[in-house]
Amino acid sequence: MTAPAAAAPAPTGARAPAISVRDLTKVFGGKTVVNAVSMDVAAGEIMGFLGPNGSGKTTTIRLMCGLLEPDGGGGQVLGLDIRNDRRAIKRRIGYMTQRFSFYEDLTIEENLRFVAGLYRMRGARRAVADTLEDLGLSARRKQLAGSLSGGWKQRLALAACIMHRPDLLILDEPTAGVDPKARREFWDEIHARASDGLTVLVSTHYMDEAERCHRIGYISYGTLVAQGTVGQVVRDAALTTFVVSGGDIPQAERALREAPGVDQVAPFGQTLHVVGRDAAALRRALDAVADRTGVTVQPSQTSLEDVFIQLMGAARDNMQ
């Protein structure tokens, strides 16, 4: 891979957005799995797309990249209509799925040559060689794909997605099952590409990865319930957070789970992370529990994970 890059600033300017969709809707079996989703992603931006399993992330992504036709709403991707220009959209994006889907009995180089053939690339041999070099795969080009570790498979998948030089890269849970070092190298590569103008839409379950995005959107049960920078999403959630330590932690935990004003209680090592929407009620509950259990209460910053747990609890299940 290229040398690690610092997080790129969010793009600015008056260019048309790479993705602009309004009221995007998809229904399966009478159930609305994507419910009037509207989103803009600027050219050169890294947009994080978050939500629990079954929330509609992958379906929304497939609507945007032309793999599914919406039942309602519409919009443009790379200036192309998502209903009428689906084939053209597919040629200008790179789509990396969570599941490794290459031929495991072919080498890295043979897999990339196969992909180049699918795209009918001119100068395919040179393109494969350049991509192998660019992503640090040249020394392993004769290695069978099936023998690669998770991190190297991920690197091969990324190579296949960007070899045809797409304008938009869509990553669906790209680092699942990959070790922390490989994840960090992957994100360094993504930021380097975004700095060169590539637009990236990435779905992830990892909070640290979400924090590396320029902006994030959170979808729950098919509805986009929050979007903005990480700071904006945390601020708009308007949660108050405290850390509880010392004293009788198990007793404090039991009492706090039943206390008014407490929305979340999560053990972190020898401490408790306590979150609530009503700051005054939360403080009263904590003071009362501290008097009985001898714990110490200190204010803390609300995390992105706290916000997402809160959003999940408030969302309505569209499958019921």
Which CATH number does the domain housing residue 54 bear? 3.40.50.300
C-alpha 211/C-alpha 125 separation (Å) is 38
Residues 118 and 196 placed together within one structural domain of the fold: yes
- What average pLDDT score do residues 74-78 get? 96
pLDDT given at position 147: 93
Residues 113 and 248 placed together within one structural domain of the fold: no
Tell me which DSSP letter residue 212 carries.
Answer: T
**Ranges 31-40, 102-111, 113-122, 173-182: which has the least confidence:** 173-182
The pLDDT of residue 51 is above 90? no
- What average pLDDT score do residues 260-272 get? 95
Residues 218 and 261 placed together within one structural domain of the fold: no
For residue 13, give every residue at least 6 positions away whose Cβ sits within 8 Å of its Cβ, in sequence order, or none.
Answer: none
pLDDT given at position 320: 54
The pLDDT of residue 1 is above 50? no
Name the domain boundary from 197, 215, 233. 233
Residue 9 in domain: no
Residues 119 and 154 placed together within one structural domain of the fold: yes
Which CATH number does the domain housing residue 289 bear? 3.30.70.100
Q: In percent, how much of the chain has pLDDT > 70?
A: 93
Residues 140 and 194 placed together within one structural domain of the fold: yes
What are the phi and psi torsion angles at 210 (to 5°)? -60, -40
Task: Note down the domain range covering 35.
Answer: 19-233
β-bridge mates for residue 81, sequence order: 76
Residue 64 in domain: yes
Classify each residue of 79-98 as buried b or exposed e, where b means 16 or more C-beta atoms within 10 Å of its C-beta.
ebebeebbeebeebbbbbee
Confidence of residue 97 (pLDDT cuts 50, 70, 90): confident
The Cβ of residue 187 has, within 10 Å, a number of other Cβ atoms equal to 23
Residue 53 CA from chain centroid, whole number: 12
User: Considering only CA atoms, which of 40, 37, 42 is closest in space to residue 63?
Assistant: 37
Confidence of residue 11 (pLDDT cuts 50, 70, 90): low
Residue 283 in domain: yes
pLDDT digits (tens, 9 = 90+) for 242-265: 999 999 999 999 999 999 999 999
